[in-house]
Amino acid sequence: MDRVGERFDGLADLVAGGGVAVLSGAGLSTESGIPDYRGPSGVARRHTPMTYQTFTGDPVARRRYWARSHLGWRTIARAVPNAGHRAVADLAAEGLLTGVVTQNVDGLHQAAGARSVIELHGSLDRVICLDCGFRSPRAELDRRLRERNPWFEAQVTAVNPDGDVDLADERIDAFRTVDCAACDDGTLKPDVVFFGESVPPDRVRQCFAVVEAARLLLVLGSSLTVMSGRRFVLRAAKLDIPVAIINQGPTRGDDYATHTVDAPLGVALPELVRRISREPAVSSSP
């Protein structure tokens, strides 16, 4: 594979022209300590994510999820943006982006300073009641769970991509969950889209609008394995909007891309920003 710098000449020209829609995936956050499902940090884990059907239909599985997630959330909450997130924020600050659509649920784009971020799959820092619809901060739930389970501590060696950790069954069996504080007995769920659950239609329409208004779709750190993200690449291709992909490893969108770079995002994106910053301004008209 060519060195990163040698792959950026044409891509830097495209991005410098502005009107860029960013679609980001888990590969952007791996350098912040959050693993992905399919990239280099996720392959060894063989983690099976929680499905919506299991979460809502099995109280035991739901308790298991909350016990694991109660510990895993602390790792997610402590994560900080890496050089890739900061580079995206730099591109936004230069007025080059039409918006950011992220498949991530960690809030690191916003923490880095990016604005106009659409969280396609929601965010782990919020909780929703499945009965009354009330949303509350994850920090508040964390406080309530600590009070209910003051004994519950464990050494976390690694967090899974959806924010939970692996625990022994005997520790999970003793864990006690809490219900919605607004309606007293509603079932709480992280305000994220689980596997087997549909993204709200209005949110999908917002994401399509960002892509359709762009002159370039820049995919960052996504294997595009599932249709949830790949559909935006397909829409861009249908509208003859160029697609550029920066990711570690091949993706299911490579056949639609005019530019591909196989490299860590924390290396590639700062290099892209550096190249753009020394170029003269380019008209953003199509």
For residue 158, pLDDT over 60 is answered with no
* Cα–Cα distance, 83 to 162 (Å, whole number): 22
What tokens does 173 get?
């069996």
- Going by pLDDT thresholds of 50, 70 and 90, the confidence category of residue 284 is very low
Domain boundaries defined on the chain? 1-34+81-121+198-286, 47-78+124-192
Least confident of 151-165, 218-232, 267-281: 151-165
Q: Which of 34, 39, 27, 37 is nearest to 88 (CA)?
A: 27
The per-residue DSSP string of 184-221 comes to SSPPEEEEE--BT-PPPHHHHHHHHHHHHT-SEEEEES
* Cα–Cα distance, 165 to 152 (Å, whole number): 14
pLDDT in tens, 59-91: 999 998 998 888 888 878 889 999 999 999 999
Structure-model confidence comparison of residues 112 and 163, the more confident one: 112
For residue 104, pLDDT over 90 is answered with yes
8: amino acid identity, one letter: F
**Cβ atoms of residues 108 and 81 within 8 Å:** yes
**pLDDT for the residue 87:** 98
- Going by pLDDT thresholds of 50, 70 and 90, the confidence category of residue 154 is low
**pLDDT for the residue 157:** 47
Three-state SS across 265-277? HHHHHHHHHHHHH
Across the chain, what does the average pLDDT equal?
87
**pLDDT for the residue 107:** 95
Least confident of 24-38, 172-186, 262-276: 24-38
**pLDDT for the residue 99:** 97
| Cα of 149 vs its chain's centroid, Å | 29
Q: Which of 55, 34, 66, 45 is nearest to 152 (CA)?
A: 66
The per-residue DSSP string of 218-245 comes to EEES----SHHHHHHHHHHHHTT--EEE
> Known catalytic residue: 259?
no
What is 1-34+81-121+198-286's CATH number? 3.40.50.1220
- As a whole number, mean pLDDT of residues 227-243 equals 97
**pLDDT for the residue 35:** 78
**Cβ atoms of residues 68 and 75 within 8 Å:** no
Domain 47-78+124-192, CATH class in plain words: alpha beta
Which residues are annotated binding-site positions for Zn(2+)?
A: 129, 132, 180, 183
Residue found by looking up tokens 């809030």 in the block: 107
For residue 38, pLDDT over 60 is answered with no
Q: What angle do CA 241, 226, 107 make, to 5 degrees?
A: 85
Phi, psi of 190 (to 5 degrees): -55, 145
For residue 156, pLDDT over 60 is answered with no
Which residues are annotated binding-site positions?
A: 103-106, 129, 132, 180, 183, 221-223, 247-249, 265
For residue 98, pLDDT over 60 is answered with yes
What is residue 122's three-state secondary structure? Answer: strand
Q: Is the dihedral of CA 136, 92, 251, 272 positive or negative?
A: negative
Q: Which of 181, 151, 129 is nearest to 70 (CA)?
A: 151
Report the percent of the chain where pLDDT is more than 90. Answer: 72
Choosing from 85, 109, 121, 259, which is the catalytic residue?
A: 121
Fold match, 1-34+81-121+198-286 / 47-78+124-192: no
For residue 263, pLDDT over 70 is answered with yes
Which residues are annotated binding-site positions for NAD(+)?
A: 103-106, 221-223, 247-249, 265
